[in-house]
Amino acid sequence: MSVDSVFVHKMWNDNELSKMVKGGVPYPMLSDAGGKVGSVYGVYDENAGVNTRGRFIIDPDGVVQGYEVLTPPVGRNVAESMRQVQAFQLVRNSKGTEATHPAGNQVKPL
Protein backbone atom coordinates (compact mmCIF):
# COMPACT_ATOMS: atom_id res chain seq x y z
CA MET A 1 0.00 0.00 0.00
CA SER A 2 1.23 3.46 -0.77
CA VAL A 3 -0.18 6.87 -1.51
CA ASP A 4 0.34 6.10 -5.22
CA SER A 5 -2.71 5.42 -7.37
CA VAL A 6 -3.81 1.93 -8.36
CA PHE A 7 -2.64 2.77 -11.89
CA VAL A 8 0.91 3.51 -10.67
CA HIS A 9 0.85 0.24 -8.71
CA LYS A 10 -0.15 -1.69 -11.82
CA MET A 11 2.67 -0.13 -13.86
CA TRP A 12 5.19 -0.84 -11.07
CA ASN A 13 4.02 -4.44 -10.75
CA ASP A 14 4.00 -5.04 -14.52
CA ASN A 15 7.32 -3.34 -15.25
CA GLU A 16 9.44 -3.81 -12.11
CA LEU A 17 8.07 -6.34 -9.63
CA SER A 18 7.41 -8.92 -12.34
CA LYS A 19 11.19 -8.98 -12.94
CA MET A 20 11.76 -9.93 -9.28
CA VAL A 21 8.78 -12.25 -8.79
CA LYS A 22 7.49 -14.24 -11.77
CA GLY A 23 4.11 -12.80 -12.68
CA GLY A 24 4.39 -9.98 -10.12
CA VAL A 25 3.29 -10.10 -6.51
CA PRO A 26 0.47 -12.58 -5.80
CA TYR A 27 -1.55 -10.19 -3.67
CA PRO A 28 -3.40 -6.93 -4.27
CA MET A 29 -1.64 -3.61 -3.85
CA LEU A 30 -3.76 -0.88 -2.31
CA SER A 31 -3.79 2.87 -2.67
CA ASP A 32 -3.73 4.97 0.52
CA ALA A 33 -4.48 8.37 -1.00
CA GLY A 34 -4.11 10.93 1.77
CA GLY A 35 -2.21 8.53 4.04
CA LYS A 36 -5.11 7.60 6.32
CA VAL A 37 -4.02 3.98 6.76
CA GLY A 38 -0.34 4.96 6.95
CA SER A 39 -1.23 7.33 9.79
CA VAL A 40 -2.87 4.51 11.75
CA TYR A 41 0.28 2.37 11.36
CA GLY A 42 2.60 5.28 12.16
CA VAL A 43 4.34 5.38 8.78
CA TYR A 44 2.71 8.37 7.07
CA ASP A 45 5.08 11.32 6.62
CA GLU A 46 2.70 14.27 6.50
CA ASN A 47 5.40 16.74 5.39
CA ALA A 48 6.39 14.64 2.37
CA GLY A 49 2.88 13.28 1.74
CA VAL A 50 4.10 9.68 1.53
CA ASN A 51 4.08 6.48 3.56
CA THR A 52 7.53 5.43 4.81
CA ARG A 53 8.68 2.16 3.26
CA GLY A 54 7.75 -0.88 5.25
CA ARG A 55 5.64 -3.99 5.32
CA PHE A 56 3.06 -5.30 7.71
CA ILE A 57 2.07 -8.97 7.70
CA ILE A 58 -1.48 -9.20 9.00
CA ASP A 59 -3.15 -12.56 9.61
CA PRO A 60 -6.76 -13.41 8.68
CA ASP A 61 -7.86 -12.38 12.18
CA GLY A 62 -6.46 -8.86 11.65
CA VAL A 63 -3.48 -9.37 13.97
CA VAL A 64 -0.15 -7.89 12.88
CA GLN A 65 2.24 -10.86 12.96
CA GLY A 66 5.30 -9.05 11.61
CA TYR A 67 6.42 -5.67 10.35
CA GLU A 68 9.47 -3.86 9.10
CA VAL A 69 9.85 -0.12 8.49
CA LEU A 70 12.80 1.09 6.44
CA THR A 71 14.41 4.43 5.65
CA PRO A 72 13.68 5.70 2.11
CA PRO A 73 16.96 4.71 0.43
CA VAL A 74 16.68 1.06 1.53
CA GLY A 75 14.50 -1.23 -0.57
CA ARG A 76 12.50 -4.23 0.53
CA ASN A 77 13.20 -7.83 -0.41
CA VAL A 78 10.10 -9.36 -2.01
CA ALA A 79 11.45 -12.91 -1.66
CA GLU A 80 12.01 -12.37 2.08
CA SER A 81 8.50 -11.00 2.45
CA MET A 82 7.08 -14.08 0.73
CA ARG A 83 9.24 -16.37 2.92
CA GLN A 84 7.89 -14.71 6.05
CA VAL A 85 4.27 -14.96 4.87
CA GLN A 86 4.79 -18.67 4.18
CA ALA A 87 6.41 -19.14 7.60
CA PHE A 88 3.50 -17.43 9.37
CA GLN A 89 1.08 -19.58 7.35
CA LEU A 90 2.94 -22.77 8.35
CA VAL A 91 2.82 -21.84 12.02
CA ARG A 92 -0.85 -20.83 11.81
CA ASN A 93 -1.93 -23.92 9.86
CA SER A 94 -0.13 -26.21 12.32
CA LYS A 95 -1.75 -24.35 15.24
CA GLY A 96 1.72 -23.58 16.56
CA THR A 97 3.06 -27.12 16.50
CA GLU A 98 5.53 -26.35 13.69
CA ALA A 99 8.05 -23.53 13.42
CA THR A 100 10.63 -22.24 10.97
CA HIS A 101 14.26 -21.25 11.37
CA PRO A 102 15.17 -17.66 10.38
CA ALA A 103 16.41 -19.01 7.04
CA GLY A 104 12.99 -20.50 6.39
CA ASN A 105 13.87 -24.14 6.94
CA GLN A 106 11.05 -26.09 8.50
CA VAL A 107 11.89 -27.80 11.79
CA LYS A 108 10.29 -30.86 13.28
CA PRO A 109 6.95 -30.46 15.08
CA LEU A 110 7.16 -29.21 18.66
What is the per-residue pLDDT across 20-67, written as a single tens digit (0 to 9) for each? 877 777 777 888 989 999 999 999 999 999 888 888 999 999 999 999
Note the pLDDT of residue 96.
79
Pair type for strands 64-69 and 54-58: antiparallel
Same domain, 27 and 72: no
pLDDT, mean of residues 67-79? 82
Residue 100, pLDDT score: 72
Residue 68 burial (CB < 10 Å; 0-12/13-18/19+)? middle
Are residue 20 and residue 65 in the same domain, yes or no?
no
CB 28 within 8 A of CB 34: no
Tell me which of 32, 52, 72 is where a domain ends. 52
Q: How many domains does the chain have?
A: 2
Neighbours of 14 (CB within 10 A): 11
pLDDT of residue 82: 84
The residue ranking higher by pLDDT, 38 or 2, is 38
Query: What is the predicted pLDDT for the residue at 105?
Result: 58
Whether residue 65 sits in one domain with residue 106: yes
List the domain range (segments joined by +) for residue 37: 1-52
What is the 8-class DSSP label of residue 104? -
pLDDT score of 17: 81
How many Å separate Cα 99 from the centre of its chain?
20
Return d(Cα 2, Cα 34) in angstroms, integer. Answer: 10
